[in-house]
Amino acid sequence: LPGETRVCRRYPVVIDGRELIRFVDTPGFQQPRKTLEWFSRYEGPADAITADFIAEHRHDADFAHEVELLSPLAEGAGVIFVADGSRPLRRVDIMEMEILRLAGLPRLAVINTKERTRGEFMEEWKNEARKHFNSVRAFDAHRATYAERIDLLESLRHIDPEWQPALKEVINAFRQDWRCRIDHTVSTILELMVTSARHAVDAACADESEVPRTRNRLEHQYRADINRLEK
């Protein structure tokens, strides 16, 4: 939801008790036009642009979102710019992309398709994003398979050589986890098949006239038992 994130939220990837990488969900831009004007006028050291912006605007409420957003970048974080490819590209979107380009850090644009079919605005987004980012990926966050999620991490790994060792370890761990999930799923399915094949229900009938009614009751009970096992 727009405006939902007001402060950075950090999501570490911890493997065997070690934090290998950390994703930071930031607020969006609050004053992209004025921020871009400041970035365009900046004449200081290129690697200090975000830190200098924060120092100048730290106590300015109008730039609270920008200060919060740029803080991880001032600490050396890379950029994953997530865009909604189902809507038209706006001038303000281009401003935001240009600000991130001027920050001079490794950058990946992820255009969320929200559906399997390519939206009518996807090409417009991709063409503009290529001007500002090291890599551009279309991604359906709601429907992506496990393999597609790992492939997205692979894209991150190739943006900056310094990220490669940590991301390689993370990707290998996710792949191992995926193999464990598959093994667990196969075991669960096999267990269900064996249990279902062995399952039986029975009841005694006092005389032959009760057989149809008893059979019907047992069939309903059997189906209910199998449904319960499947759930």
pLDDT reported for residue 1: 66
Indicate the DSSP class of residue 83: E
What is the β-pairing status of strands 9-15 and 18-25? antiparallel
pLDDT of the chain, 231 residues: tens digit per residue: 666 788 999 999 999 999 999 999 999 999 999 999 999 999 999 999 999 999 999 999 999 999 999 999 999 999 999 999 989 999 999 999 999 999 999 999 999 887 655 567 999 999 999 999 999 999 998 889 999 999 999 999 989 999 999 999 999 999 999 999 999 999 999 999 999 999 999 999 999 999 999 999 999 999 999 999 999
Contact status, residue 70 vs residue 103, Cβ threshold 8 Å: yes
Q: Are 155 and 135 in contact (CB under 8 A)?
A: yes
Q: Which of 137, 140, 138 is nearest to 114 (CA)?
A: 140
Q: State the pLDDT at residue 5.
A: 81
Determine contact, residues 82/152, Cβ cutoff 8 Å.
no
pLDDT of residue 4: 75
**32-41 and 49-57 are packed helices; what angle lies between their axes, rounded to 10 degrees?**
120
pTM (global) more than 0.75: yes
The residue among 48, 47, 115, 57 whose CA lies nearest residue 87 is: 115
